[in-house]
Amino acid sequence: MQSTLSLGTIFHIPVRLHYSWFVALGLMPIGLIFYFHGTYTWWQGAIFGLIAVLLFFVCICLRELARIAVTLAWHVPVRSVTLAVFGGVPRITEEDTRIGSELLVPAVGLLASLVLTAVFYLVYNILSITDASAIAEIMRWQYFFNLMIAVFNLIPGYPLDGGRFLRAIAWAASRDLNRSTRITSLMGFVIGILLILTGLVLLIRANQWFTGVTLVFAGWLLQDAAWAMRRQARIRNALRGLDTRYLLTDDYTPIKEQLTFAVIRDYIINSGQRCFMVLEEGELLGILTLKDIQIPEKRWGNTTVGQMMTPASKLRTAKPNEPVASLLETMEEFDIDQLPVLDEGKLIGMVMRDRVLRFLKARAVLRA
């Protein structure tokens, strides 16, 4: 899924925030402003809405933690997790996917949502008999939100839990994970479009703006995520059988970290290259890109390559036998143009995103 913001890592797994949360940050406060109209001022309603968004985000995080714990218990590596409003979307390579975990994880997600629903419903009933009416209403909205997440994820369209469960069943029957992914993600795309159309009808014909906007928003999220999953599956199918070595290139220039920018500036500008490998006896110390060298002229003489480069510890790297499809997904997800390839800690080459895309385009033409 595109349009994400990095939140850091958990269990050494990169976690990214989907743009849908920024839409929710606007919709929920607006909804509660209208809901509390006449009882509280608009700014109080907005504060209640922000609290509701924060609690809902915590619920989605707890739900995804439960799913990740089950996935890791099956010894399935999770490359990254994108947190969307409807739940988390883990990135697991086709090679690492297991039928058992794919069947169990959706059930755990559903159970987590139902447990959170029950907890908030219990808290709501306790608070409703006290004077904390506003807090009780926020709890009421929380159990409603979590219940809707459980129901929404039952939709049989990938990447929702229902679609993930259906994909696992189809995979078990056909032994073709890629085809099962394409079919279930297509179902998710179609269902998303139907939700959008239903929401528009409610908005235009029934004047149910909140329900209509919610359905349009949910449908948009589903079709966008499903289409991204389908695209990934098609790319994986096109790159099947190719590992890193196939598109490996050694067309890069090594430089020393002790050199100052003043010494290498003219060479960098005239080389036509976008990045330079900082090496020491074959060991990768970092990468220097054109973005890294944007420094004031007064610092050229005393700023070294080592000070400007991105250290190797912060770089995403690849292994020689890693599938090219996985590398392309990583480059697109984190918006990077090249991945260094290491073998026993030594740099043996790079894989460039534009080269992979050119290869895909050429293969598509040949198959047309």
**C-alpha–C-alpha distance, residues 164 and 102, integer Å:** 7
Q: How much helix, strand and coil, in percent to the nearest 5, is found in the chain?
A: 60, 15, 25
pLDDT tens digit sequence for 192-236: 999 999 999 998 887 787 788 889 999 999 999 999 999 989 988
**C-alpha–C-alpha distance, residues 74 and 102, integer Å:** 10
pTM, rounded to two decimals: 0.81
For 9-64, what is the HEC assignment? EECCEEEEEECHHHHHHHHHHHHHHHHCECCECHHHHHHHHHHHHHHHHHHHHHHH
> Which two three-digit tokens encode residue 37?
């109209």
Question: What local confidence, expressed as pLDDT, does residue 366 receive?
Answer: 61
Question: What local confidence, expressed as pLDDT, does residue 4 receive?
Answer: 80
Low-confidence ranges of the chain (pLDDT < 50): 368
- Among 338, 329, 332, CA closest to 310: 338
From the number of C-beta atoms within 10 Å of its C-beta (0-12, 13-18, 19+), residue 345 rates as: exposed
Question: What local confidence, expressed as pLDDT, does residue 19 receive?
Answer: 87
Count of positions (residues) in the chain = 368
Question: What local confidence, expressed as pLDDT, does residue 61 receive?
Answer: 94
Question: Domain segments of the chain: what residues?
Answer: 4-238, 244-367
Question: What local confidence, expressed as pLDDT, does residue 224 receive?
Answer: 92
Question: What local confidence, expressed as pLDDT, does residue 368 receive?
Answer: 46
The CATH number assigned to the domain with range 244-367 reads: 3.10.580.10
Name the amino acid, one letter, at 316: R
* Pairing label, strands 275-280, 254-255: parallel
Identify each DSSP E strand in the chain by its residue range.
4-10, 13-18, 80-84, 87-91, 254-255, 275-280, 283-289, 310-311, 338-343, 346-352
pLDDT tens digit sequence for 59-91: 999 999 999 999 999 999 998 999 999 888 898
Three-state DSSP class for residue 341: strand
Question: What local confidence, expressed as pLDDT, does residue 2 receive?
Answer: 57
